[in-house]
A and B are shown apart, each in its own frame.
Chain A
Amino acid sequence: MKIILNGEPRDVTASRLSDLMEELGFAGAKVATAVNEDFVPAGARAQTKLAEGDRLEVLAPMQGG
């Protein structure tokens, strides 16, 4: 299915967020996730399913002032 990952269209196979993070290469990474603009804590990724067109944000530590 097609989702929007960090603003870009992306074809993915997994629908469960925890599986999807693995598929996208983010397993074990220091990142936080939001689906359709709502925060999904790491502990809730296994219970969170994505559907066609959902927007996933994967945010990481970055430079800041």
Chain B
Amino acid sequence: MVMRGFYGHTLANPLMLGTAGYPSPAILAEAFRASNAAVATVSLRRESAGGAGQDFWAMIRDLGIPVLPNTAGCHTVKEAVTTAHMAREVFDTPWVKLEVIGHTDSLQPDVFGLVEAARVLTEEGFQVFPYTTDDLIVAEKLLTAGCEVLMPWGAPIGSGLGLNNPYGLRAMRAEFPDVPLVVDAGIGLPSHAAQAMELGFDAVLLNTAVAQAGDPAKMAKAMAEAALAGQAAFVADPMEPRDMAEPSTPVIGKGFLE
């Protein structure tokens, strides 16, 4: 099996899990424990007078896994780059999940701004995980800009619609055989996570599907198991689908009983 590293880091398993929207910090921690998620995504927001961010950070640090800070909500290159600088200082990591949002309703990335921000940040030593679409030309430009990972969406963030364009994701896998690929956003069910991994992706990144489930820890575990099952299936080299039936039981040797 090909293990593609994420800027030299091999993931312990193919699940990256978000930290937003859980019913409580305790349930968040339980979901991470139950799933063994390999990476936790985090953000930077205004600190409250009560120091809510300090408590949150103490809890995330206790998870003992790498953090991937995002630039969620940024709509311009400048805003995303400044946020990345601030995140690098706070989280002490060169990793950044780069989001430059272009459309408020769909949260579709502004791919032009994304490529520009990726170039700026790579030149400054960041290791960029770009939240992008399945457009191959954009992907090519992100790689040229210095990205060594691509994170195409499956469907809009928080929609839970799954993989809207499996063809596009398959094409991406075929076009960039050496690049670590992550389906980021849109995964709502374990079957979606399995499908992404069956396509040969290296990981899935999800948040809402776990955080908003009735039992987040149970769903996190289901997602992890599905991702691993899909990964194993890809390695096992699945059969080619066909339109016509073909009996699996041997025809020869059937008794004459009419």
Contacts and interface: CB of A to CB of B under 8 A. Distances in A.
Taking residues whose C-beta sits less than 8 angstroms from the other chain, chain B's interface range is 35 or more
Contacts of B157: 65
Interface string A9-45: 0000000000000000110011111100111011000
Given A37-B82, A61-B57, A64-B20, A32 B46 contact: no
B41 A65 contact: yes
Which residue, A31, A57, A63, has most C-beta atoms of chain B within 10 A? Answer: A63
Contact of B89 (A25, A26, A32): A32
B80 to A, nearest CB: 12
A55 to B, nearest CB: 12
Interface residues of A, number: 24
A62 B90 contact: no
B60 A41 contact: no
A42 B89 contact: yes
B86 A63 contact: no
Nearest to B88: A32
A41 B84 CA distance: 12
Contacts of A31: 47, 53, 90
A64 B72 contact: yes
A59 interface: yes
B44 A61 contact: yes
Contacts of A59: 44-47, 53, 86, 90
B54 interface: yes
Interface in B70-96: 70, 72, 78, 82, 85-87, 89-91
A60 B207 contact: no
Interface in B214-245: none
A33 B41 CA distance: 21
Nearest to B50: A25
A34 B46 CA distance: 11
A58 B46 CA distance: 6
B82 A61 contact: no
Given A30-B90, A31-B47, A32-B86, A60 B53 contact: yes
A61 B20 contact: no
Given A32-B86, A59-B90, A65 B20 contact: yes
B167 interface: no
Which residue, A7, A34, A60, A64, has most C-beta atoms of chain B within 10 A? Answer: A64
